[in-house]
Amino acid sequence: MTPEMVMTLAHDAMYVALLLAAPLLLVSLVVGLVVSLFQAATQINESTLSFIPKLIAIAVTLVIAGPWMLTKMLDYMHHMFTSIPQIAG
């Protein structure tokens, strides 16, 4: 196994991890921003108020983007398992 192969595997793993995490993190960021603006406008200083909307938004995002995320993860794992003979030598 060459250093280039190791770097390629690490790059692919980080790229897939970024693709899988991005939708959930972006939705959480947007919902948190909207709830924070609402709290600032109404002067409601309840720290647990943002938890439920984020939880609901992430659940909806998982329902919508879940099949795509699962497909990406399965494709990556299939690629990894089929490339074991090349990696082993």
Long-range (24+ apart) CB contacts under 8 A made by 8-16 are 9/80, 9/87, 12/76, 12/79, 13/76, 16/72, 16/73, 16/76
* HSE-up (13 A, CA, CB side) for residue 19: 16
pTM of the model: 0.82
Residue 51: both structure tokens together? 């938890």
User: Where along the chain do its domains lie?
Assistant: 23-40+47-89
Q: Please report, in tens digits, the pLDDT of each residue of the chain (89 residues total).
A: 788 988 999 999 999 999 999 999 999 999 999 999 999 999 888 878 889 999 999 999 999 999 999 999 999 999 999 988 888 87
